[in-house]
Chain A
């Protein structure tokens, strides 16, 4: 069926099964490949996007349920000052190793800082606990979030 989506400030119309996860609509229909497939079960956070500014697992979000929510992906997150600040902190700390999880990490970090502008260490860990990093860049993820919050 035809579904209207608002992604990174642009309106899109896609033909898709409403059960199809938003992740695969972003990747296959809209060519937005920055959002990653890791597990398809909401366990790793690689597919994290924002729905109206709140972090959501796009692999667990049927596209038919997105409705009018504004979808923000890694490709669009730098449009806000906060998104830009987090991205700059990520580059400055050279957070990535393989880098595959980092889109999801950044989306979770931006959502965390929007909710909690000055998180303490416990709040950082709690806010980022849903995002796996197989290379274990956690030390620098913490540092980059602290830097972006400062």
Chain B
């Protein structure tokens, strides 16, 4: 479904992605692990068109979407829940959700709302509340719910467990599983590598802009180097 070939991204003098090759099949959860600064978020931002690629190509369902404007990429079915949640703080929960489906007409959204409310009943209770006043966990749900409003084929999740209490982390990972069960393909970035590897089908390891390892999640979670570097194992 998504096929990345030789992708390069630079920020000024900093070469953040140095020739990434990656592929995601329909229905998969793929996770990307790596330390801070390895380029994980840059990769997601390049896929969603926020950061321009300086080389290589990104094919989505056979179409080259490299350096396409972000709003066209959303229309093609890729949505992202960004790192740090990035909800619109002064807008209500309802307005945030509406914006998630910005490219669609208001009258076609009943199904999308229903789906989000089923996954996140808490959001339905908070519709008229300003998003900035939500708790961290609720904001994370809003960020994911908002991304789902566009009815994406591929969902990019950047650090969904960031800054959440352990019981909420658990909940979020359950939800990721449920969303995937509904047929949404997911690319997940997580610093909580254990949790990520436990829900993912396959995984890639990113180090200073290069993919250094990839394989089935199960296999990688047994890999000694991975355990030492990311899983806190000995």
Q: Do A and B come from one complex?
A: no
